[in-house]
Amino acid sequence: MSQVHKNGSGEKGKQMTDTCVPQCVGKGHEIFGDTWTLFIIRSLADGGQRFCEIQRKVGGVNPVTLTSRLKKLEKLGFIERKEEMIDKISVSYLLTKKGEGMLPVLHAIEVYAKKYLN
């Protein structure tokens, strides 16, 4: 069984099946609902960055929290941790294909926020 949801203009929107909606939304919230995670993914949209660059771009996140979120995102396959030897070991983080798949979602959130939350 599927439900037809209406968008804000009253027009019929896309059909959503009820079989996945609660579980999928719940799983998405479990992964992305904590503070900073979406900001980190968004900051990596411009390419690989070192820890201090991510911290500066995200702004306000303490190092312990950022480390925790980066480890979580790496474990889940959204980002890759890359070590390079320059003068010393340099660590950078970059989005995987799975992480890049979140960028259209973030863009949709940005568009929605500009339209309805400003």
- All domains of the chain in start order, with CATH: 1-33 (no CATH), 35-116 (1.10.10.10)
Report phi then psi at 66, rounded to 5.
-60, -45
Per-residue pLDDT for 4 more than 50? Answer: no
Q: What are the tens digits of pLDDT across the range 26-66?
A: 878 777 878 899 999 999 999 999 999 999 999 989 999 99
pTM, full prediction: 0.77
In contact, 96 and 85? CB cutoff 8 Å:
no
Residue appearing with tokens 């998405």: 28
Residues 6+ apart with CB under 8 A from 62: none
**SS3 for 82?**
strand
Helix, strand, coil tally for the chain in percent (to 5): 50, 25, 25
Res 6: pLDDT: 43
Q: What percent of the chain has pLDDT over 70?
A: 84
